[in-house]
Amino acid sequence: MGDEQSPGHMPEGRAPWERPISHVSDPQLSPRHTPLPVPPADADRTPSGRIRGRSGDPSERLSVSELMDRVGQDDDPAVAQTPETPEAATGWPGRAEPTPIVPEGPAAEAVAAGTRLAASKRRKQKRIRVLGRSAVALVAVASLTVTGVAWGYLRATDNGFLQVAALDPDSTDVVDPGGQYGDETYLIVGTDTRAGANGEIGAGSVADAEGTRADTVILVNIPADRSRVVAVSFPRDLDIVRPSCQAWDNDKGQYTNEINPGADNDKLNSAYAYGGPKCLVKVVQKMSGLKIGHFIGMDFSGFESMVNQIGGVEVCTSTPLIDDELGAVLPNAGRQTVDGATALNYVRARKVEAEGNGDYGRIKRQQIFLSSLLRSALSNKVLFDPGKLNGFITAFTRETFVQNVDTKSLVTLGRSLQKVDAGAVTFLTVPTAGTNELGNEIPRLDDIKAIFQAIIDDEPLPGEERKAPEPDKSAAAAPATATTPAPEPQLLSVDPSEVSLQVSNASGVTGIAAGAAEKLGAEGFQIYSVGNYSGTSTNTLIRYAPGQAEEAATVAASIPGALLQETSTADLGGLIDVVLGSNFTGAVNPAKPADTALQPQMAPKSTVISGTTIEELPADLSFTNAADDTCA
């Protein structure tokens, strides 16, 4: 499935930097408990010379089951620990790895009271404990790709990852960076190259579609409080303004010294073809305003391999799925488990007459597929099958190319999400307004802006099933009556030198943020950053995280008319966010001495701070909740 836009002819055959077909899915070549492969000492580079990530941490020689056990222990750090002796390590060439989870031999028989019964009981208790502490961690990490690839948090060998330059950490397109402090945002990309192994698995040939484009683009955000996971799908034909980008040579998997000029009215998937991961990250970061901190990419063959490793994934369709190009993908309706080849066609099909909505039907199926994968993981289909789990982790590290992704950070992320369940995992689709004369999907920019602002502000989203926050016991003990409004809090000011500010202009008047920052700095406040807010606001707001009300009140006392607004769902990283609205006159009063009693005015909860509110999210927003297992 290619389009006519191509940066040039790409030769047939496997690209030098691409991996050959994996044999990991062949049961004859991959026994149930095969040790994780470790490349020899001279195999730390790809054929093109790119250096793979490499680590000498002996903990990487542990089996997945041993690592899962350590992840489940409350008192252990988030990463696996070094074995006590070199002999305890496994996974090196020539060393036999013990059977995961269920140890054998005299040492195992000596567990607890020294009987097989005691050992069996202890193993069963350990499995239950690990399940309770680790199952939800799978939700977050498996949400990171349309193929369910990111269980790398199980501490698989990092030297299996191919590294690629993709991120733009200093981009000025990031909206409200203080409000995103502590968030984790991943860009997940599935590419459509037909070269090498991809052509051999039925994805078509280079003659069908030259070059490589971004066939699937999903942006995943996990907020600082780890209360949910939001994955936003971007249509591959979305109309964009493509910036000038350093040229990308897909054959070699590296950038060249040439610069491809920008273009208007281009398709989103062409950004990857012309400028590789870096160009695509720039486009998505500009459109979303999210700070993309991690990149994961894979191709067709990688998708198929990983689905096969877990024994397939269950899907359900109310009608047969027939594609005009791929044929009968699912000849029969109902629930069925699909293997890697069928799953690939299931998420690729975009000429399904019964759906009549092109790429949107495909995106919906991708979201349904990933939701099913999540439920499968939570039902222990993979988690407690060491053969499947080891093979899946191996395939993940072998079949992906990444930046700023390693197993240690994914372990930490997974453990921080233990209270998240499938109902708090939501998939959204970027809304469009039909197609233009070029066949490109027209983005509804205002609606897109509203969606991502809601994500940044951690506002509720359609279909989301997050657990309600614990009630405030002190508030419940003395509630405000309907006739008596709750009094404003009385706070004590702090020394302004202890307060760091992020000053943002939401007034629509150029230059006032810089002027205000200069005046506030003269009063002793520490200025962290100055910039423009993502929209406009009538009110001047002092936004703060829980526990920083006194710092915020100290700032508000220096800005006439400023309102306090607690943002309980966003970690500002210790900053106070000063949002200057159109009512800001430019006046800044002298800072109050420390320990002065203050009684600031709180902003109403309905206050608009960026030109968008939850009511302004598009009514026709397409969403999928990961807990929904209805047959579509």
| pLDDT tens per residue, range 468-513 | 555 444 444 444 433 344 445 578 999 999 999 989 888 878 889 9
Worst-scoring range by mean pLDDT, 199-213, 229-243, 376-390?
199-213
User: What percent of the chain shows pLDDT beyond 70?
Assistant: 61
Is residue 609 predicted with pLDDT exceeding 50?
no
- Tokens found for residue 292: 């993309």
- Tokens found for residue 609: 């701070």
Averaged pLDDT for residues 196-218: 53
- Tokens found for residue 190: 């599935």
Averaged pLDDT for residues 338-361: 83
Where in 506-614 does DSSP place strands (E)? 526-532, 541-544, 563-566, 576-580, 597-598
Spatial CA neighbour of 249 closest among 260, 238, 239: 260
- Tokens found for residue 549: 């009300």
Worst-scoring range by mean pLDDT, 63-77, 391-405, 583-597?
63-77
Domains and their CATH numbers in the chain: 1-462+618-632 (3.40.630.190), 491-615 (no CATH)
Name the amino acid, one letter, at 338.
V
Residue 49 or 191, more confident? 191
Residue 7 or 233, more confident? 233
> Which 3 state secondary structure label does DSSP give 93?
coil
Element containing residue 193 per DSSP (H, E): none
Using CA atoms of 330, 335, 341, 345 in order, give the dihedral in degrees to the nearest 10.
50
Tell me the average pLDDT of the chain. 71
> For every residue of 463-480, which 3-state class applies, written as one string?
CCCCCCCCCCHHHHHCCC
Largest CA distance in the chain: 80
Whether residue 430 contacts residue 443, with contact meaning beta carbons closer than 8 Å, is answered with: yes
For residue 120, what pLDDT is reported? 47
Residue 477 or 318, more confident? 318
Spatial CA neighbour of 70 closest among 116, 119, 149, 129: 129
CA dist 305 and 394 (Å) reads: 10
pLDDT tens readout for residues 545-572: 888 999 999 999 999 999 998 875 455 6
Neighbours of 528 (CB within 10 A): 19
Element containing residue 115 per DSSP (H, E): none
CA dist 322 and 444 (Å) reads: 30
Averaged pLDDT for residues 69-93: 36
Is residue 460 predicted with pLDDT exceeding 80?
yes
C-alpha separations of 156 from 29, 36, 68, 88, 222 in Å: 20, 8, 11, 17, 22
Averaged pLDDT for residues 267-292: 95
Judging by beta carbons within 10 Å of its beta carbon (0-12, 13-18, 19+), is residue 369 exposed, middle or buried?
buried
- Tokens found for residue 81: 């620990």
Whether residue 537 contacts residue 581, with contact meaning beta carbons closer than 8 Å, is answered with: yes
| DSSP output for 418-474 | TT--GGGEEEEE--EEEE-TTSPEEE-HHHHHHHHHHHHTT---TT--PPPPPP-HH
Q: Which residues pair with 231 in a beta bridge?
A: 220, 427
Residue 440 or 361, more confident? 440
pLDDT tens readout for residues 86-117: 333 323 233 333 333 333 333 333 333 444 44
Worst-scoring range by mean pLDDT, 204-213, 256-265, 532-541?
204-213
Q: Which residues pair with 186 in a beta bridge?
A: 220, 294
Worst-scoring range by mean pLDDT, 23-37, 205-219, 434-448, 604-618?
23-37
C-alpha separations of 468 from 424, 460, 465, 478 in Å: 11, 11, 9, 21
Name the amino acid, one letter, at 130.
V
**Prediction pTM value:** 0.57
Using pLDDT thresholds of 50, 70 and 90, give the confidence band for residue 358: low
Q: φ and ψ at 110, to 5 degrees? A: -85, 0
Whether residue 312 contacts residue 341, with contact meaning beta carbons closer than 8 Å, is answered with: no
Judging by beta carbons within 10 Å of its beta carbon (0-12, 13-18, 19+), is residue 594 exposed, middle or buried?
middle
Is residue 214 predicted with pLDDT exceeding 50?
yes
Q: Estimate to the nearest angstrom the gap between the alpha carbon of 206 and the chain centroid.
A: 31
Using CA atoms of 564, 570, 575, 576 in order, give the dihedral in degrees to the nearest 10.
-10
Is residue 615 predicted with pLDDT exceeding 90?
no
Neighbours of 490 (CB within 10 A): 10
Using pLDDT thresholds of 50, 70 and 90, give the confidence band for residue 339: very high
For residue 39, what pLDDT is reported? 38
pLDDT tens readout for residues 123-180: 444 443 333 333 333 333 443 333 333 333 344 446 678 889 999 998 999 998 888 9
Residue 609 or 545, more confident? 545
